[in-house]
Amino acid sequence: MKSRHLHISILTVFIFLAGWELVVRGLGIQIVILPAPSLVVSALYAYLLSGDLVSDVLATGRRIILGLGLGSLLGIGIGLLIGWYPRLRAAFYPLVAATFPIPKIALVPLMIIWFGLWDAYKIVLVVSGVFYIMVINTMAGVNGVNRVTIMACRNLGARDSDIFRKVALPASLPIIFAALRISFSVSFILVIAAEMIISEVGIGYFIANAGQLLETEKVFAGLALTAILGFLGDQLIGWAEKHLSPWQRPTRSRP
Amino acid sequence: MVDSDIGPVPALEVRGVSKRYPGWRRDLAEVRVLGEVSLQVAESEFFVLVGPSGCGKSTLLRLIAGLDTPSGGEVHLAGDRVVKTSPEAIVVWQEFALLDWRTVEGNILFGLEVNRISKSRRLELADHYIELMGLTPFRHNFPSEISGGMKQRVGLARALALDPPLLLMDEPFGALDAQTRMIMQEELLRIWEGSEKTVLFVTHSLEEAILLGDRIGVFSAGPDARIKEIVDVNLPRPRLPTVRASADYTRVYDRLYQILREEVVKTISREATSGRP
């Protein structure tokens, strides 16, 4: 999205919300079916004032950050190793490939049995989702490093450890970041789902609870909150990417 | 015999080197790329290899660089047998092979870093070669931000910074446009003339070969490619682009063309009968 078209984007959002408000009021749609956006905003405001919004965001955020952090560290590490060493790949890739297709949400009962009802279960669930995405993409990244570039570096005197650290790792960064973006959205899905299943704090818990009480405006407030957090999280990863792989930035005009 | 006696210890000696690759499937015949190639290049000589495409010129360069092992024969650099790749013979690649995530300066520093040269010395050397190759305005640019000619200047600066006695240039200007190519040829000559370096240069272009080389080895068509003939270029140095107008130039060109034409025709007719390139 180019910022010089920002006013168009804002206008579209405004028209969408105004249309929604008018349709709901004009047709007299019941709150429980579809609340007007103004009601959603006031529900969000009440949510903020109660203090629950902050504690829910902190709880959900903590679970995502820990799960995403642990899962991607583990995934990137193992992905680099099995991407670089054919023997390790032969040993471990079949195991990864065989367990990858299991829908991670199906692990919930097992995770609850092993890790209890609270934070640990949710974090491990996120780790399980993030891990595979990171392993498979990192491996592909390392594998895809240009052969001639590797030859050139060996010729210049680089040892295996130099090539691993100074060539394979940076060459894989763009793919690793793309995978991190996907992992972030997956970890968001898994945390919200896990909180809906069982929790006492968190945005997923707030949405599920509001739904059970037929407080539809609160459900929408929760959804709006997830949209905002998702957007902010993605921006944060984009910012980190720009700083860690600056060579990917759009071409500057030649001096 | 294609190798002549040129001094006591040649900078580069290729002794009966051959290269075969196993078929990529067990039931396929092995690919015999190089027959027995022998070659001696004297210190500070500029030797050019030309030949039909796919004849194995690049393969030979990689064998000399120690990036691949010959199936038979030996390569010696200044009398020492090549067993693995080393900064004694640095390749300048047609595809540049730069590190996209490092700036111009970072790319030149890479070879110095991995050879554990001290930091102050590294920066000093990088400065010198950035200056020498006219890269100062692009010092902090990434490869994606500079032109092909500039990229190959980086490739050359990166090689020179390690001060290798032998430069192996694998169609280094093949990816550049004609004008940039001419400038790069001039610059390469300027740098080589001011150094003691031995250069082995692979090209498709006969013009380039004659403009640059002291001697030109013409490859026969593969499989089992070998050096068919070596042509001396007795043109005065320093050579200017105007050398193209001289009678000597035309004589060498015609000679090379005659030899090469036969081999290229062989390659084409073989491709036509096998139905694949």
Is the pLDDT assigned to residue A250 strictly greater than 60?
Answer: no
CB spacing of B142 vs A247 below 8 angstroms: yes
Query: Is-cis flag, bond preceding B22, omega within 30?
Result: no
φ and ψ at residue B217, rounded to 5 degrees: -95, 125
Task: Give the sign of the dihedral formed by CA B199, CA B205, CA B207, CA B208.
Answer: negative
Mean pLDDT, all residues of chain A: 90
Q: In what order do the strands lie in the sheet with B31-41?
A: B31-41, B12-21, B72-77, B80-81
B110 touches chain A (CB under 8 A): yes
Q: Are B155 and B188 in contact (CB under 8 A)?
A: no
Q: Which chain A residue lies closest to B168 (C-alpha atoms)?
A: A155
Residue range B157-186: mean pLDDT, rounded: 92
Q: Name the band, by pLDDT with cuts 50, 70 and 90, for residue B56.
A: confident
B138 touches chain A (CB under 8 A): yes
Q: Name the band, by pLDDT with cuts 50, 70 and 90, for residue A254.
A: very low
Q: Which residues pair with B77 in a beta bridge?
A: B12, B80
The separation between CA B237 and the C-alpha centre of its own chain, rounded to angstroms, equals 20
Q: Note the pLDDT tens digit of each residue in A119-144.
A: 899 999 999 999 999 999 999 999 88
Rounded CA separation B75/B70 (Å)? 9
Q: Which chain A residue lies closest to B147 (C-alpha atoms)?
A: A254
Query: Which of helix, strand or coil describes residue B77?
Result: strand
* Amino acid A3: pLDDT: 63
Residue of A151, A167, A173 with shortest CB distance to B99: A167
* Amino acid B21: pLDDT: 85
* Burial (Cβ within 10 Å: 0-12, 13-18, ≥19) of residue B253: middle
Q: In what order do the strands lie in the sheet with B227-232?
A: B89-93, B166-170, B198-202, B46-50, B215-219, B227-232
Q: Note the pLDDT tens digit of each residue in A74-126.
A: 999 999 989 888 899 999 999 998 999 899 899 989 999 999 888 899 999 99
Q: Note the pLDDT tens digit of each residue in B202-246.
A: 998 999 999 999 999 998 887 888 888 899 998 888 888 788 888
Predicted-complex ipTM score: 0.89
B134 touches chain A (CB under 8 A): no
Is the pLDDT assigned to residue B195 strictly greater than 60?
Answer: yes
Is the pLDDT assigned to residue A230 strictly greater than 80?
Answer: yes
Q: Are A56 and A202 in contact (CB under 8 A)?
A: yes
Q: Are B225 and B51 in contact (CB under 8 A)?
A: yes
Q: DSSP H helical segments within A85-118, as ranges?
A: 86-99, 108-115
B30 touches chain A (CB under 8 A): no
Q: Are A30 and A216 in contact (CB under 8 A)?
A: no
Q: Are A234 and A64 in contact (CB under 8 A)?
A: no
* Count of beta carbons in the 10 Å neighbourhood of residue A65: 14
CA angle A105, A111, A116 (to 5 degrees): 130
CB spacing of B110 vs A156 below 8 angstroms: yes
Is the pLDDT assigned to residue B4 strictly greater than 70?
Answer: no
Is the pLDDT assigned to residue A2 strictly greater than 70?
Answer: no
- The proportion of chain B whose per-residue pLDDT surpasses 70, expressed as a percent, equals 95
φ and ψ at residue B89, rounded to 5 degrees: -140, 105
